Amino acid sequence: MLAPPAVGQARRDGHDLNESELTLQQKQRQLKEERAKVVQAKKREASVLAELEDTEKRLGDKRRQVGVLDERVKKAKADVAGLQGEIGRLEIQPLGAAGGAGPAAPRPLQAPIARWRITSDSFR
């Protein structure tokens, strides 16, 4: 035979129940906050992934541009080497031996004598 609970026992059980409800509400609030954090983290992740994809695309474009520029530099170096070789070949040839049809040997520059009359007034 069980005796009915005493009045003090009923209050204690009610107190325990209120405490349990408060703890449950607190846990539910924490869970809700954590879920909101997860949603925000997923949004940030999507944003970061989109930014990463954009960055990778731009990097690929830049790499292609660098490849094109590398080819242009190689061609320019080959052109310069060819021109340097031609210059060296032309420097070795005697003057006027450029096939006979070329211009005669260059003459030294001479100032025109009678064209200009320089006076002391010219410097004022």
Q: Is residue 97 part of a domain?
A: no
Q: Is residue 124 part of a domain?
A: no
List, for residues 16-67, the tens digit of each pLDDT value.
788 999 999 999 999 999 999 999 999 999 999 999 999 999 999 999 999 9
Q: Is residue 113 part of a domain?
A: no
Q: Is residue 112 part of a domain?
A: no
Into how many domains does the chain fold?
1
Q: State the residue range of the domain holding 76.
A: 8-91
Reported as half-sphere exposure (CB side, CA atoms, 13 A), residue 28 has a value of: 6
**How far is Cα 41 from Cα 33, in angstroms, rounded to an integer?**
12
pLDDT at 103 over 60: no
Task: Select the more confidently predicted residue: 17 or 106.
Answer: 17
**How far is Cα 101 from Cα 98, in angstroms, rounded to an integer?**
7
